[in-house]
């Protein structure tokens, strides 16, 4: 199989087309492109759909689906495969025929067992669902939501505990890792307090069940939005892109979840129903390797004058704190802060975001660079401070959503 250019992951997507652009192949392409990969497609079905529902489905013949896959694999190759809407039982079997040898050779495969659209429209009949078995056994990771997990295991899945039990059943029966998504479940807790308002926030937990029976969990505040069309497609594609570029599975999932959450927050609000997410607005938020300069803090002697100045330049203020600190966001995704001069020693600070702060600090020290120990800050970042040879102040940090979307973001 051909080898890709370093830094460019080749992701083969096997899924249906969404004419409304919110889910399916369209969401997959947008996700993989924004994360720095090269998307290729084998379209399994053409759908007429929008934010209100699916009006018509036209399956692509199984032979044509396989020919699309072979065309990509034989010439360009693939570093990972993402499977979504499969179209028919025959297509599932034919796709499994092609992928099983590649899976045995170590090609990562992420299978999103699409059965029902966000609008409630059925996208897989019982025969097709039954044919999922071979695809699940070939998969590296299966990403069911609660209704899909219930359909695949025959168990009732209404709580987080139910999802864990069903997820373990599915992992045992398929030999694949399972990411049991919690978005359809009742809140894991209503007790987390979001600073600075003190208001309780519902939590959503996703569990990764590994083949040894252990599980890892990610828990975050629920993002209230009706613009959720394509969340499952987006998550699975983002995980596949991460695996394709060589990330360990937990790291690929953490990065994919961050992408989905920011795309949810950036949804453009299109359509009258379940609208699409804002994939195109996820910029400089999901690390592609190395350190990313995406934030600077400047000293301000006159807070009000500086706020007016940067707003006049077209920056959007997203944080304001006690007349001593403010943060602004640019259209390209970078952020700029102003802080009272006495609190930043009167000098700018350049922030470089890294994927693994502890590893970045260790690497810097191995090169003889003096850097402080990493510490967690009250504003939701982990940071380590250092100076360059000219004495300029730098900060290595990890912020995730909290750089652009802290709980106290304005608006």
Residue 233 appears among annotated catalytic residues: yes
- Whole-number Å distance between alpha carbons of 6 and 10: 11
pLDDT digits (tens, 9 = 90+) for 252-287: 999 999 999 999 999 999 999 999 999 999 988 886
- State the average pLDDT over residues 238-242: 97
Task: Count the Cβ atoms, other than its own, within 10 Å of residue 361.
Answer: 19
- Percent of the chain's residues with pLDDT above 70: 92
Residue 232 appears among annotated catalytic residues: yes
pLDDT digits (tens, 9 = 90+) for 80-114: 999 999 989 999 999 999 999 999 999 999 999 98
> What is the full DSSP assignment across 244-283?
HTT--HHHHHHHHHHHHHHHHHT----SSSSPBP-GGG--
Is 80 exceeded by the pLDDT of residue 334?
A: yes
Residue 334 appears among annotated catalytic residues: no
Domains of the chain: 10-281 (3.40.1190.20), 292-403 (3.10.180.10)
Spot the catalytic one: 72, 233, 286, 395.
233
- Answering whether pTM is above 0.85, one says yes
- What does DSSP assign to residue 22? S
Is 60 exceeded by the pLDDT of residue 403?
A: yes
Residue 72 appears among annotated catalytic residues: no
Q: What mean pLDDT value characterizes the chain?
A: 91
Spot the catalytic one: 182, 232, 242, 278.
232
pLDDT bin (cut points 50, 70, 90) of residue 121 is low
pLDDT digits (tens, 9 = 90+) for 29-79: 999 999 999 999 999 999 999 999 999 999 999 999 999 999 999 999 999
Residue 82 appears among annotated catalytic residues: no
Spot the catalytic one: 37, 72, 181, 242.
181
Spot the catalytic one: 174, 228, 297, 335.
228
pLDDT digits (tens, 9 = 90+) for 149-176: 999 999 999 999 999 999 999 999 999 9
> Higher-confidence residue: 129 or 53?
53
Reduce the DSSP state of residue 319 to 3 states and report it.
strand
pLDDT digits (tens, 9 = 90+) for 168-205: 999 999 999 999 999 888 765 433 334 344 444 689 99
Residue 346 appears among annotated catalytic residues: no
């Amino acid at each position: 199989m051909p080898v890709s250019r370093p830094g460019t992951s080749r992701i083969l997507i096997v899924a249906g087309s969404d004419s409304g652009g919110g889910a399916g192949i369209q969401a997959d392409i947008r996700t993989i492109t924004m994360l720095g990969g090269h998307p290729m497609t084998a379209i399994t079905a053409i759908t007429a759909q929008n934010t209100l529902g699916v009006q018509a489905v036209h399956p692509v013949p199984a032979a044509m689906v396989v020919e699309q896959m072979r065309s990509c694999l034989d010439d360009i190759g693939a570093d990972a495969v993402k499977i979504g809407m499969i179209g028919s039982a025959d297509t599932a079997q034919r796709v499994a025929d092609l992928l099983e040898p590649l899976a045995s050779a170590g090609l990562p495969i992420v299978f999103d067992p699409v059965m029902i659209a966000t609008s409630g429209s059925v996208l897989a009949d019982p025969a097709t669902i039954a044919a999922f078995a071979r695809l699940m056994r070939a998969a590296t990771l299966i990403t069911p939501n609660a209704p899909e997990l219930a359909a695949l295991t025959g168990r009732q899945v209404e709580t987080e505990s139910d999802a864990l039990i069903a997820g373990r059943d599915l992992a045992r029966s398929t030999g694949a890792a399972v990411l049991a998504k919690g978005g359809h479940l009742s809140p894991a807790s209503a007790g987390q307090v979001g600073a600075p308002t003190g208001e309780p926030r519902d939590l959503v937990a996703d569990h990764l069940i590994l083949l040894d029976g252990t599980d890892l969990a990610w828990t975050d505040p629920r993002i209230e939005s009706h613009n959720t069309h394509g969340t499952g497609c987006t998550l699975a594609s983002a995980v596949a892109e991460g695996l394709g570029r060589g990330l360990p599975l937990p790291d690929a999932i953490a990065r994919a979840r961050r992408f989905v959450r920011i795309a949810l927050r950036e949804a453009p609000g299109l359509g009258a129903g379940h609208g699409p997410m804002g994939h195109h607005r996820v910029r400089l938020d999901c690390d592609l390797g190395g350190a990313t300069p995406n934030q600077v803090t400047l000293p301000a002697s006159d807070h009000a004058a500086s706020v007016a100045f940067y707003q006049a330049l077209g920056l959007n203020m997203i944080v304001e704190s006690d007349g001593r600190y403010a943060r602004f966001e640019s259209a390209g995704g970078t952020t700029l802060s102003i802080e009272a001069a006495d609190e930043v020693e009167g000098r700018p600070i350049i922030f470089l975001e890294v994927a693994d702060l502890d590893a970045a600090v260790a690497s810097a020290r191995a090169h003889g660079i003096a850097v402080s120990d990493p510490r967690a800050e009250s504003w939701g970042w982990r940071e380590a401070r250092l100076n360059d040879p000219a004495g300029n102040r730098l900060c290595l940090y990890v912020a995730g959503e909290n750089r652009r979307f802290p709980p106290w973001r304005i608006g």
